[in-house]
């Protein structure tokens, strides 16, 4: 295990142990979450060393890497994912005409394939061999291993996207520096993240599936992602909710809490979470942040 002694956002060394969360998804190991006393950033701490992280993804049920559609949960996930592709396209094309797009953490490639069909030039970065191979063989996409990211041309990409990926990245600042280098001066950065200030996160506590330890190394809020982006020369100009996430995360959380899928309770709590965010504080279960470089 690796002990984190300094907040990656503000460099503060005072990290307080806040709660303990179990890896309900796979190993049932327990992990602690530490909170920065200065900026409030929540960190999985200690965490597995980088060379051990891959074993926590080794499951056929890891849906972002799986094409299996047998269970009700995976069927729901894939239905929502297919619907969401169109919504993501509509969102991005409000600000950018077809150009050159990089998707970091491209998984099985459906997002890249959708944009490629719409006359975008697309490249993916995917560290896992199986989904990377699937996206290349099935869709003929240009998808590279993670270590190839430094070989991509500087300032080349009109859009860089990370869909529920940044929370998995061990070196946050290193990744942000890479993104800043790769994105064109007037480029668009799109980052989707879980939000542990949401109603569903508060309701389920340490059973909340959005923590997903230790695969999620960091746990963001609108404030902490804004601070990280500002540190690297970006500003958020728009935030959009991912409303379906409240239902899906609630469904997983119900299973973690009770040992069974309670669709009715999950739907009810997902609805409560979205209503709470709409009428009070915009703290949806997951949020999409659209950012641009500050000097533009």
- Only one residue has tokens 């719409």, namely 118
Tell me the CA distances in angstroms from 52 to 44, 55, 148, 177, one per residue in order. Answer: 15, 6, 21, 24
Confidence class of residue 63 from pLDDT cuts 50, 70 and 90? very low
Lowest mean pLDDT among 73-77, 107-111, 140-144, 254-258: 73-77
Report which secondary-structure segment, H or E, holds 290. Answer: strand 286-293
Please state whether beta strands 234-241 and 286-293 pair in parallel, antiparallel, or not at all (unpaired).
Answer: antiparallel
Q: Are 208 and 292 in contact (CB under 8 A)?
A: no
| CB-based burial label for 280 (10 Å; 0-12, 13-18, 19+) | exposed
Backbone angles phi, psi at 237, to 5 degrees: -110, -10
- pTM reported for the whole predicted model: 0.94
- Only one residue has tokens 């396209």, namely 89
Q: Where are the alpha helices (DSSP H) in 54-211?
A: 72-93, 110-117, 129-139, 172-182, 199-204
Number of Cβ within a 10 Å radius of residue 251: 22
- The distance from CA 29 to its chain's CA centroid, rounded to whole angstroms, is 22
In tens, the pLDDT along 249-283 reads 999 999 999 999 899 999 999 999 999 999 988 99
Task: Assess whether pLDDT exceeds 70 at residue 77.
Answer: no
DSSP assignment of 178-241: HHHHHEEEEEEEEEEEE-TTSHHHHHHGGG-TTT-TTT--EE--HHHHHHHHHHTTEEEEEEEE
For residue 110 the two structure tokens come to: 């459906």
Average pLDDT, the chain: 94
For residue 153 the two structure tokens come to: 């041309």
Quote the CA–CA distance of 165 and 40 in Å, as a whole number: 20
Please state whether beta strands 143-144 and 121-125 pair in parallel, antiparallel, or not at all (unpaired).
Answer: parallel
Say yes or no: domain 15-293 is CATH 3.30.43.10.
no
Task: Assess whether pLDDT exceeds 60 at residue 66.
Answer: no
């Amino acid at each position: 295990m690796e002990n984190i002694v300094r907040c990656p956002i503000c460099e503060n060394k005072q990290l307080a142990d806040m709660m303990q969360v179990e890896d309900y998804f796979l190993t049932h190991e327990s992990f602690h979450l530490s909170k920065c006393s200065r900026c409030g950033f929540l960190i999985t701490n200690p965490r597995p060393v980088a060379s051990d992280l891959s074993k926590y993804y080794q499951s056929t049920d890891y849906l972002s890497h799986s094409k299996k559609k047998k269970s009700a949960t995976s069927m729901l996930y894939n239905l929502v994912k297919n619907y969401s592709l169109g919504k993501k396209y509509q969102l991005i094309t409000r600000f950018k005409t077809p150009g050159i797009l990089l998707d970091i953490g491209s998984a099985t490639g459906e997002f890249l394939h959708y944009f490629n069909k719409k006359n975008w030039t697309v490249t993916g970065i995917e560290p896992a061999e199986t989904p990377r191979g699937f996206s290349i063989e099935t869709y003929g996409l240009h998808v590279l291993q993670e270590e190839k990211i430094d070989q991509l041309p500087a300032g080349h990409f009109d859009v860089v996207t990370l869909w529920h990926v940044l929370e998995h990245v061990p070196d946050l600042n290193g990744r942000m520096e890479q993104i800043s280098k790769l994105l064109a001066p007037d480029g668009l950065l799109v980052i989707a993240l879980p939000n542990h200030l949401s109603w569903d996160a508060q309701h389920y506590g340490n059973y909340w599936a959005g923590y997903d330890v230790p695969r999620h190394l960091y746990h963001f809020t609108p404030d902490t992602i804004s601070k990280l982006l500002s540190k690297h020369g970006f500003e958020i100009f728009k935030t959009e909710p991912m409303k379906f996430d409240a239902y899906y995360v609630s469904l997983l959380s119900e299973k973690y809490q009770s040992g069974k899928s309670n669709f009715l309770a999950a739907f009810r709590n997902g609805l409560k979470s979205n209503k709470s965010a709409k009428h009070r504080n915009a703290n949806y279960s997951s949020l999409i942040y659209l950012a641009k470089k500050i000097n533009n």
